[in-house]
Every structure is written in structure tokens, then in C-alpha cells.
Amino acid sequence: MKSRTPKVLHRLAGRPPLGRATAAREAPASRPVRLPASPEPPSRHNGRVSANDEVDGIVDAWVRERPDLDFTPLQVFSRMRRLAKQLERARGSAFGRSELETWEFDVLSALRRAGAPYRMSPKQLLQATMVTSGTMTNRIDRLVERDLVERLDDPNDGRGVLVQMTPSGLARVDAAITRLVDAEQELLGALTHAQQERLAQLLRKLSLDFG
């Protein structure tokens, strides 16, 4: 009995072999591909490329277990807490290299921002640094001992004093703020300048909402 080859095989026998691209188009899809949530490319920082962080893993697990909730706030504040830890380390390093404690920088930077002759009353320093009167008195005493500030008689108040930064204090605080800005810029290295400005605007809006 003569075997009969189906007509479709005759047609296929005369076709050229499928190229990879053609085969990929004609092959049935096995399962849908999960696309990234953001259209932006993965961030690059310090030579490493990463599309996800540990917060993504936490949020994905919560979404799986509680799909009824919107975890966008968790994504925002979890990352803010994580970045705050990085910032504290950067601040400590910048101040330490300038031989300053964080509280010393706070007082000296308040005097520096006041402009020459870098002089303020203890009450003004209280308002600028938001500490108690007793704490401020102790801090001024310690800064005087280190020759970073000096006490002067207030010409407008016979019983009052003014706190003025010394040249040594000025040199220390200028070095510290330079190192701090450099360290903070490094933390923001994954963002363009425009993105940094946009982030600052969003954080300002959020901060103002807290009052």
C-alpha cells in the first residue's frame, strides 16, 4: 500500500529553515512577561546597576499577603528611614574629619549663617538650635574651652552677653560644611541635578504639610 504524505508536509519540506527571530514570533507564548513598574532604566551608583532594593522585597511580600492595601506610603517612608541612616553616617564622618561633634557643628553653623561678625545672643542660639537653656549654657562653655567661640559683653544690655565665633571656629565650621555637602552630593549621585531639585520640592511640600 502506497503511503500518503500529507500535503502540509510537502509544503513544509520546501520552506527554508526558520530564523531565530521568525521562530520566536511564531512560537506560542509560554506565559506573560512581567514588565518593570517604572519606565526609567535601572539606577547606577558606584559602578553597580540595581533595579530593586530591599524595600521592594518587603513591599512585594506585603502585596502578596495583603493585596487589599496600598503600600505606596510604606515604599516612601521605608526608603526615607534607610536614607536617614546613611545621612547620619555621612554627617558623622564629615564632622569627625573636621574635629567637631554634631552639636558643635549645630552651634557654629548657626553663628556662621548669621554672617560676620558671627555673633549671636544665647537666646538666639536657643531658637536656632532648639535646645534648652541649660543645655545651651553647657555647650557654650565647652566651645569656649576649645577656643571655638568667645563670650563678649552685650553693649545693649549691661547684664547680657553675646557669643561670637573665633577664627578657629570659623575655619572648623567652613571645613565641616564643605565636607558635608560633598558627602550629601555623593549620596544623591544616582540622581541628576534636575531630579534632585524635584525631590527637594516634593520633600518641602511634604514638610510644610506637617506644619
pLDDT on residue 30:
39
Q: CA 129, 132, 135: angle at the middle one, nearest 5? A: 90
Q: What is the pLDDT of residues 144-158, one digit of tens each?
A: 999 999 999 998 887
Q: Hey, what domains does the chain have and what are their CATH numbers? A: 97-178 (1.10.10.10)
**Residue 62 backbone phi and psi in degrees, to 5:** -65, -40
- How large is the average pLDDT for residues 94-121? 96
Q: Residue 182 carries which side chain, given as an amino acid letter?
A: D
| Statement: residue 87 has pLDDT above 50 | yes
The predicted model scores a pTM of 0.70
